[in-house]
Structure 1
Amino acid sequence: MAGDSVISPQRSKDFGKHEHGCDHYKRRCKILAPCCNKIFPCRHCHNETSNSLSNPKDHHDLVRQDVKQVICSICNTQQEVTQVCSHCGVNMGEYFCDICKFYDDDITKGQFHCNDCGICRVGGRDKFFHCEKCGSCYTVDLRDNHFCVENSMKSYCPICFEYLFDSVKSTRIMKCGHTMHMECFSQMTMQNHYRCPICCKAVLDMSAFWEDLDMDVSILCNDCNSTSTVQFHVLGLKCRQCNSYNTRRITAPANH
């Protein structure tokens, strides 16, 4: 194993906690990626780097379970995957999963490993359940309260095309059962798009909007100057006197 040229003293397990890591995780180790034999702070850093290479043939993702070697950020010792550094004795991650080869010093995230998903999740084990049909963990308020779509999370966000199953971003389950990132969902609805990009079903309760469209409105005809009451139509409002569509609405629905 590679390490400092002099023997480092044994340190407390909390030494250097929250002082090392990257934008994705606070941790006291780096990983040696077996796919390209390069050192990265975490698998996300690896994936961002490898997938930004100029040659598309070089693009690849790191399989987290394949990591065999890590490098302690405190004493620079390379060693097999383990929680406590074999050389200086620090916890290389306050949270550690030997299956996912995952380290994180910020345990306020409530990390837990889901055996059915096969990966670590965040948010607290008691706040999530695993839906067998959807193939993923959901918050307990969705138990028996969502429309199941087989392996719905093992797909790509229909907006940004990032793989949802192991994404670090929060997700939204729509009424139809399809999923997308919460941030992408918010951006979509802010732009007045309310249909699922996959199946075109409404993603929100649109009943109030449909009621507005069913209401009669008063219009003024720009051609004959008469007023009339007609049923709202998204394409145009027809004057009852001269049949012109050159009109404008002069009253809004009563519930506006």
Structure 2
Amino acid sequence: MEASANERPDFGKMGYGCKHYKRRCKIRAPCCNEVFDCRHCHNEATNLLSNHFDRHELVRFEVKQVICSVCDTEQPVARVCTNCGVNMGEYFCEVCKFYDDDIDKGQFHCSDCGICRVGGRENYFHCKKCGSCYALGLRNNHTCVENSMRHHCPICYEYLFDSLKETAVMKCGHTMHYECYYEMIKREKYCCPICSKSVTDMSRTWKRIDQEIEATIMPEDYRHRKVWILCNDCNDTTEVFFHIIGQKCSHCNSYNTRTIAPPVLPQ
């Protein structure tokens, strides 16, 4: 007796799909009526169009039809093919119209985010103020920024909320891709591109600058000159002695400062 599609090894999981997902179906894009392996394939294809007005992104929730990769049967969204009975995705989310055979990712649907996440539900919590799921290690251990994930990465400008890449949450609460974060650090840029606060412990660097300033005597004309500074780390405004190497915040000892105009005193 001939084996069913689910029993044939060549129809097993991880045998179909694209570079984004392994799955046994394709989707018909409701926006343009074209067939693609997944929504990311659709978005990449339309972004390459020379006509700006034809560029658009697929809304995952609007997908109504899928095509089984095993028997080519087009049908309404469902986990199992109505024709050959193959399971079109080991993980299936009816809300997101999402299929994925690689269940080792630990996919789960977050109703607060409104989309599917990876990494295992038990390893994440949803921060309602930040508006996204974060690793458990950040629970009560991060600075909340309202809707911190609903913006573009400040380095590569890809939208973060539903990006496939891992995201870093910095000390200031702002977010960016991990790979962009480490590229920034590798280039010795240690300030958040959004708010300019230090993203790592800079205490050793501040001590080194202290030593450099102590060893560098300013010319007599500048030795007693003062300037007003704003500290990017603690937001304090102070008047300090000017030095060519840097100005130190007298409140938090940070050199992550910038000179500003003197404050206007009330009459």
The normalised TM-score by structure 2 is 0.78
The answer to whether structure 1 residue 134 and structure 2 residue 117 are counterparts is: no
| Distance (whole Å) between structure 2 residues aligned to residue 146 and residue 213 of structure 1 | 28
Which of the numbers 5, 8, 14 marks the counterpart of 1:11? 5
Which of the numbers 201, 204, 211 marks the counterpart of 1:205? 201
The answer to whether structure 1 residue 231 and structure 2 residue 214 are counterparts is: yes
| Distance (whole Å) between structure 2 residues aligned to residue 44 and residue 73 of structure 1 | 17
> In structure 2, what residue type is equivalent to 1:166?
D
Partner residue, 2:104: 108
Partner residue, 2:264: none
Partner residue, 1:181: 177
> In structure 2, what residue type is equivalent to 1:21?
G
Q: Does the CA-based 8 Å contact 2:6-2:12 persist in structure 1?
A: no
- Higher RCO (CA 8 Å, separation ≥ 6 residues): 1
Shift of 1:211: 0.6
| Distance (whole Å) between structure 2 residues aligned to residue 138 and residue 56 of structure 1 | 35
Q: Does the CA-based 8 Å contact 1:148-1:177 persist in structure 2?
A: yes
Which of the numbers 82, 91, 94 marks the counterpart of 1:98? 94
Partner residue, 1:39: 35
Structure having the larger proportion of residues in helix: 2
| Distance (whole Å) between structure 1 residues aligned to residue 6 and residue 42 of structure 2 | 29
| Distance (whole Å) between structure 1 residues aligned to residue 27 and residue 187 of structure 2 | 41
Per-residue CA distance 1:10-69 (angstroms, 9 max, x = gap): 422673321100000000000000000000000000000011110111111100000000
| Distance (whole Å) between structure 1 residues aligned to residue 215 and residue 74 of structure 2 | 71
Q: Does the CA-based 8 Å contact 1:10-1:87 persist in structure 2?
A: no
Which of the numbers 55, 71, 96 marks the counterpart of 2:51? 55
Q: Does the CA-based 8 Å contact 2:20-2:40 persist in structure 1?
A: yes
Percentage identity across aligned positions? 62
Shift of 1:80: 0.3
> In structure 2, what residue type is equivalent to 1:12?
N
The answer to whether structure 1 residue 87 and structure 2 residue 83 are counterparts is: yes
| Cα RMSD (Å) | 1.9
Which of the numbers 161, 166, 177 marks the counterpart of 2:162? 166
The structure having more radius of gyration, on CA atoms, is 1
Which of the numbers 137, 144, 155 marks the counterpart of 2:140? 144
Q: Does the CA-based 8 Å contact 1:213-1:232 persist in structure 2?
A: no
| Distance (whole Å) between structure 2 residues aligned to residue 188 and residue 141 of structure 1 | 23
Equivalent position SS for 1:210: helix
| Distance (whole Å) between structure 1 residues aligned to residue 175 and residue 133 of structure 2 | 12
Number of aligned residue pairs: 218
The answer to whether structure 1 residue 27 and structure 2 residue 15 are counterparts is: no
Gaps in structure 1 of 5+ consecutive residues: 1-7, 217-229, 244-256
> In structure 2, what residue type is equivalent to 1:75?
C
Per-residue CA distance 1:124-166 (angstroms, 9 max, x = gap): 0000000000000000000000000000001110001110000
Partner residue, 1:77: 73
Distance verdict in 2 for CA 1:12–1:127, change over 3 Å: same
The normalised TM-score by structure 1 is 0.81
